[in-house]
């Protein structure tokens, strides 16, 4: 007998009572397993898959044949549909292409062109998944939206606040991308995978024969078909009728000494070591990118380190903004090991962060997220360092 049998007694399409949960389904194993988990707990669900980006756009980035195994490719949409069919719950594809372009893709490109190193996933969470998608979920009658994020939400009985916590599985934790969520958004969201490891998720997926149980993980930006985001930015800018200035220019030290030539500022990121086109005996890194002066500044590892910086658009997630500086562990990019720091809230949704020890490559455009143990205290966009 198939393992599907234990799901057969569960509520099926068409008999949904008010209070069901909408599941944001990408067609991958994580969000598909969320659907299976909720059904196992006898929660009625409706699957929603966002169509975010038309993969037929920017045809020069496409290889031969149809786009495959990428976010928003028809394959992923069909995978989500297959899962819904397999577990027999209602599923719909919803079009958020316009919102995704306005709130994620365009800001990403603009930030990049301004010499920053943007992250698209945070905006997508804050401004697409937990904004128009959550609203649509509520409009179709869902109480909440469940996603495949690895993070946890907990209601603090003392303060009455919803708190955002790191996932149990630290290697999969995605709380770094979720710091923008408001209390209202947190109160309407569920992250059922927060207590599980990736391996447990895959096992669960296999145990209910999910058709995507062994699907490989997507690691890259979902809207960049071939993973080459520099190429994507060029193609997007061309489509917008504003082709990039790919003028060569100087690579200089902080003192202004010219060390070499760059091939266009857009081809560099802060902290980059390889591909500078020259060697100096010691390892050398990109420190800053200045599109206005068409200049890339480099320096040694020491120069890349800084202790103080400011963040903006700060969201105090799990606590009210504090009146006094507080101690926290601060993470300045997804793969950064959180480091001890003091965080001081400033007026105008800003905060000043001082690391106990200088950290490498505090990069404008990335986010800094402050933790107290597992709890996400606050997050904000990095403005400037030093």
Using the rule CB under 8 A, give the single segment among 135-143, 241-249, 295-303, 372-380 that binds other proteins: 135-143
Residue from 57, 92, 200, 352 binding other proteins (CB under 8 A):
92
Distance in angstroms (rounded) separating the CA atoms of residues 113 and 106: 11
Q: For other proteins, which is the closer residue by CB, 48 or 213?
A: 48
DSSP 65-108: SS--SSTTSHHHHHHHHHHHHHHT--EEEEE-HHHHIIIIIHHH
Size of the site for other proteins (CB under 8 A): 19
141 touching other proteins, by CB under 8 A:
yes
Distance in angstroms (rounded) separating the CA atoms of residues 156 and 185: 15
User: What φ, ψ does residue 206 adopt, rounded to 5°?
Assistant: -70, -35
Write the CB contacts of 382 (distance below 8 Å, at least 6 apart in sequence). Answer: 309, 310, 311, 332, 362, 363, 364, 365, 366, 367, 368
To other proteins, the closest distance from the beta carbon of 155 in angstroms equals 22
Binding mask 9-48 for other proteins (x = CB under 8 A): -----xxx-----------------------------x--
Distance in angstroms (rounded) separating the CA atoms of residues 235 and 62: 11
Q: For other proteins, which is the closer residue by CB, 130 or 355?
A: 130
To other proteins, the closest distance from the beta carbon of 187 in angstroms equals 15
Using the rule CB under 8 A, give the single segment among 90-98, 155-163, 287-295, 351-359 that binds other proteins: 90-98
To other proteins, the closest distance from the beta carbon of 81 in angstroms equals 8
DSSP 10-45: S--TT-PPTT-EEEE--SSHHHHHHHHHHHHTT--E
To other proteins, the closest distance from the beta carbon of 40 in angstroms equals 22
Residues 330-352: b if buried by 16+ CB within 10 A, e if exposed: bbbbeebeebebbbebeeeebbe
Q: Catalytic site residue 71? A: no
93 touching other proteins, by CB under 8 A:
yes
Q: For other proteins, which is the closer residue by CB, 16 or 230?
A: 16
Using the rule CB under 8 A, give the single segment among 134-142, 245-253, 277-285, 350-358 that binds other proteins: 134-142
Distance in angstroms (rounded) separating the CA atoms of residues 243 and 85: 44
Q: Catalytic site residue 121? A: no
Question: What is the side-by-side order of every strand in the sheet holding 21-24?
Answer: 91-95, 45-51, 21-24, 144-146, 189-190
CA 291 to mean position of chain CA atoms? 25
Q: For other proteins, which is the closer residue by CB, 94 or 307?
A: 94
- Reading the block at residue 134, the tokens are 């959550």
Q: For other proteins, which is the closer residue by CB, 20 or 371?
A: 20
Residues 285-314 that bind other proteins (CB under 8 A): none
- Burial label for 214, CB within 10 Å (0-12, 13-18, 19+), is exposed
328 touching other proteins, by CB under 8 A:
no
Q: For other proteins, which is the closer residue by CB, 14 or 348?
A: 14
Nearest-5° Cα angle at 76, 72 to 80? 120
Distance in angstroms (rounded) separating the CA atoms of residues 321 and 162: 14
Using the rule CB under 8 A, give the single segment among 131-139, 161-169, 236-244, 271-279 that binds other proteins: 131-139
Which entry of 71, 72, 121, 222 is annotated as an active-site residue?
222
To other proteins, the closest distance from the beta carbon of 11 in angstroms equals 12
Using the rule CB under 8 A, give the single segment among 105-113, 137-145, 158-166, 342-350 that binds other proteins: 137-145
Q: For other proteins, which is the closer residue by CB, 15 or 302?
A: 15
Q: What SS3 class is residue 318?
A: coil
Q: What SS3 class is residue 59?
A: helix
Residue from 113, 114, 136, 326 binding other proteins (CB under 8 A):
136
Residue from 21, 24, 29, 77 binding other proteins (CB under 8 A):
77
Residues that bind other proteins (CB under 8 A): 14-16, 46, 51, 74, 77, 90, 92-95, 97, 135-136, 138-141
User: Where in the sequence numbering do the catalytic residues fall?
Assistant: 124, 222
């Amino acid at each position: 007998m198939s393992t599907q049998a234990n799901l057969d007694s569960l509520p099926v399409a068409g008999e949904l009572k008010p209070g069901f949960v909408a599941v944001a389904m990408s067609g991958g194993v994580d969000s598909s397993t969320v659907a299976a988990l909720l059904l196992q707990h006898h929660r009625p669900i409706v699957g929603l898959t966002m169509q975010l980006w038309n993969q037929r756009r920017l045809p020069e980035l496409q290889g031969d044949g149809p786009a495959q195994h990428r976010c928003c490719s028809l394959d992923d949409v069909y995978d989500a549909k297959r899962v819904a069919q397999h577990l027999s719950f209602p599923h719909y594809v919803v079009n958020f292409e316009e919102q995704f372009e306005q709130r994620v893709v365009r800001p990403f490109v603009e930030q990049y062109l301004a010499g920053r190193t943007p992250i698209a996933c945070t905006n997508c969470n804050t401004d697409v998944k937990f904004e128009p998608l959550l609203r649509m979920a509520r409009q179709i009658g869902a109480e909440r939206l469940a996603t495949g994020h690895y993070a946890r939400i907990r209601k603090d009985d003392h303060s009455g606040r919803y708190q955002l916590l790191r996932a149990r599985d630290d290697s999969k934790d995605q709380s770094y991308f979720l710091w923008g969520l408001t209390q209202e958004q947190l109160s309407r969201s569920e992250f059922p995978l927060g207590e599980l490891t990736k391996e447990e998720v895959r096992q669960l997926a296999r145990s209910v024969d999910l058709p995507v149980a062994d699907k490989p993980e997507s690691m890259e930006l979902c809207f960049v078909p071939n993973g080459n985001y520099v190429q994507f930015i060029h193609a997007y800018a061309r489509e917008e009728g504003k082709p990039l200035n790919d003028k060569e220019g100087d690579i200089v030290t902080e003192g202004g000494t010219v060390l070499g030539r760059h091939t266009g500022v857009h081809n560099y990121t802060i902290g980059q070591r390889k591909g500078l086109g020259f060697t100096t005996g010691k390892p050398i890194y990109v420190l800053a990118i200045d599109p206005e002066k068409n200049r890339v500044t480099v320096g040694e590892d020491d120069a890349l380190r800084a202790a103080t910086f400011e963040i903006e658009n700060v969201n105090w997630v799990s606590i009210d903004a504090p009146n006094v500086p507080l101690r926290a562990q601060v993470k300045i990019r997804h793969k950064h090991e959180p480091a001890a720091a003091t965080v001081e809230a400033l007026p105008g949704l800003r905060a000043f962060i001082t690391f106990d020890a200088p950290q490498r490559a505090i990069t404008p455009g990335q986010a800094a997220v402050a933790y107290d143990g597992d709890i996400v205290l606050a997050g904000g966009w990095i403005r400037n360092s030093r």
